[in-house]
Structure 1
């Protein structure tokens, strides 16, 4: 993790990705807890990812995309 603060655009993109994850999850009527169970992540981590407050691993994004049945590209475009 860089010691300098991240540029604003990085934080904005992180929030956009979180918004897409939340939209895909709610479209499928899946709770954060259920998504967590399907991915092996806890509900708090799912919440932080959706809020853009957590710099997540690519592995986690792959697990989330698979659990939601959407291509990873749809979440990070």
Structure 2
């Protein structure tokens, strides 16, 4: 069910931190946003919004991202 109020500031900050960790892992794996997005069946702008912390992706999407990058999901959440 959609929220009627925006998330708390700490939630938005944590979302951006996770996006930064995803970006760092992707760069370490020497992958482009386009390559990861294509592998998980997503367009690059949508994937970019995950890395920027502008959206809150589903758990299934995060699992696909972690698999495409070649890391454990837990590593992206730390």
Indicate the TM-score class for this superposition, using the shorter chain for normalisation.
Answer: over 0.9
Flag structure 1 segments of 5+ consecutive residues without an equivalent. none
The Cα shift of 1:46 comes to 1.0
1:57 is displaced (CA, Å) by 0.7
2:55 is the counterpart of 1:57: no
Q: What TM-score, normalized by structure 2, do the two folds share?
A: 0.94
Q: How does 1:1-77 map to 2 (within 5 A)?
A: 1-77=2-78
Deviation at 1:19? 0.3
Query: Distance in 2 between the 1:26 and 1:45 partners?
Result: 18
Q: Give the structure-1-normalised TM-score.
A: 0.95
SS in 2 for 1:36: helix
Secondary structure at 1:64's aligned position in 2?
helix
User: After TM superposition, what 4+ stretches of structure 1 lie above 2 angstroms from structure 2?
Assistant: none
